[in-house]
Structure 1
């Protein structure tokens, strides 16, 4: 079984085997691809369950994807999807767990030539959390409030903007009836605690942390959205079709294994979050966050179509090709 070399990663940065740490946005040209290396991304979120489990197994020398796909895996972590799609565009990443909005945005910008979805990853696991002292009881109460999302254009950012617009608030990218402040997840927590944020739309485990550590209250829980997908660069699918097929199969098998071995998977998730965040989550936090996250390997076209409509409504997508090409036949 292949082992891989790992270096700790800062949010929204890439760690490259060999020691260099570079921002994905600084990579100006396509890298030469080693077909025996799979460059794999995920976020330090509970909604990326399979990524957390597989990453931890790689650390332990028990690589799931290494064995099933027959490659060396190099892991990279990001704060949110737009950073991961930058890496895809630059040729620095082959495959990643990611939310639907950045995938659709990249697909649209490339006129359908970039991004391919191999499978679903998780549904739900994201909520709009409010600070009790902000006195938010109805959608109209968000007027004049400061609300955070993980990153401009990421899935929760689009959901937040669409929700506010649907409830009569005029929202622009720079202001409007409420201030939407794209903020990295760790910073959301401290700003929420200090009263500098009135609400946050984010994913697990941050939703539960806002509840347990900052007294946040869930205003709206999304239980249905395909919050995580397994997506790849178009070049990976085209040039390495057998690996793409094996990867999708291995992902489905890992999803089934996690469901059948919940306690063992929970330990792996906890260990990986400790590596990435510097501290293991409490059992209460992990149990609650996982209970709100439904892992899957299925993509909901209905959910994807809804995300397209939401992104178009708030001005993040204009013209987008038909989605059939986004879902390759492996």
Structure 2
């Protein structure tokens, strides 16, 4: 296995097309090659020689971190070489998927929806979930109610990402304006997570809507406090934070490889549940490689307490996620039917004695 931190601009290597940015998604059907999704001639070609998997060095992506570092992916992949890349946020990771630089991505629902919509349903499939919860709006002293946010500057990890959309929609529900250029009653400023911590400590940001462990880091390292825990905004406190998506052509050509990665993910989730201390150490070691230093134990404990690790994509919440993206102005409205293909996951779950999960009418299961 090889691992490297992804530089978003360097979308090279195995890319079939060279256009970058979100416009690349629109041309994806022409770039990605034939697949069953487009009615072409692609077919099951057996196991891939190698598979490139992308994820974040966040606790919300712990199933990927444990799957890679704990050897669960490699064990299931056998002779297929595993190569991994670390990203800061979903939109950059989606660009890499669209360019063919990665095959499988652990990613938030908003970028997954954007990729599906802009490729007219042909570019990707959600094949599993990975995590629920683990995102909060954390703010400085003096901000104790929504009314105190007037004129503040609040960070999100990246424009169009899952936390960015959640922040903009919540602000709108509180009666605030915010535009995609950083204007309005509250200035939303997409910022890399590590920079958010530093800028908050320097007094240049008033808070951020952040995934774990960054929300806990601002609280425990920089004196922030939680204004909104996102799980409180959802029925039963459950909403998808991290999905597993696959390029449609890779899924068609190499279902055996995708199934192997899903077996590894399910095994990693079991390890997270059965051995939380050992799994947390693996996660922390991987975060240290990407961020330069490990998390303190109190931050690690806080982050893990805020997240449910599950292969269930909680499909019943996805339409609401789309509605939020449309309201935030980062996503166009569309029909999400066909976005899920949970057949391989349910095969893996059945073999493991677990109940199958639902696509909520938005795909195959």
Distance 1:292-1:12 versus aligned 2 partners, 3 A rule: farther
CA contact under 8 A between 1:140 and 1:169: conserved in structure 2?
A: no
Displacement, 1:247?
Answer: 2.3
CA contact under 8 A between 2:53 and 2:105: conserved in structure 1?
A: yes
CA contact under 8 A between 2:160 and 2:330: conserved in structure 1?
A: yes
> Matched residues in 2 for 1:152 and 1:292: separation?
24
Distance 1:296-1:169 versus aligned 2 partners, 3 A rule: same
CA contact under 8 A between 1:15 and 1:76: conserved in structure 2?
A: no
1:108 alignment partner, one of 88, 106, 117: 117
CA contact under 8 A between 2:124 and 2:339: conserved in structure 1?
A: no
Q: Which residue of structure 2 aligns with residue 273 of structure 1?
A: 287
CA contact under 8 A between 2:8 and 2:96: conserved in structure 1?
A: no
Distance 1:50-1:241 versus aligned 2 partners, 3 A rule: same
2:207 alignment partner, one of 183, 199, 213: 199
CA contact under 8 A between 2:67 and 2:265: conserved in structure 1?
A: no
2:72 alignment partner, one of 61, 64, 71: 64
Displacement, 1:31?
Answer: 9.1
Which runs of structure 2 are paired with 1:150-229 in the superposition (5 Å)? Answer: 150-174=157-181, 175-223=183-231, 224-229=238-243
> Matched residues in 2 for 1:237 and 1:69: separation?
15
**Runs (5+) with no aligned partner, structure 2:** 34-44, 232-237, 345-365
Question: What is the TM-score when the length of structure 1 is the normalising length?
Answer: 0.88
Which runs of structure 2 are paired with 1:115-130 in the superposition (5 Å)? Answer: 115-130=124-139
Report which stretch shifted further, 310-319 or 182-191: 310-319
1:145 aligns with 2:152: yes
Aligned length, in residue pairs:
313
Q: Which residue of structure 1 aligns with residue 265 of structure 2?
A: 251
Displacement, 1:42?
Answer: 0.6
Q: Residue deviations 1:218-246, cap 9 Å, x none?
A: 00012322111111111111111222223
1:49 aligns with 2:66: no
**Runs (5+) with no aligned partner, structure 1:** 18-22, 58-62
1:5 alignment partner, one of 2, 15, 20: 2
SS of the residue corresponding to residue 138 of structure 2 reads: strand
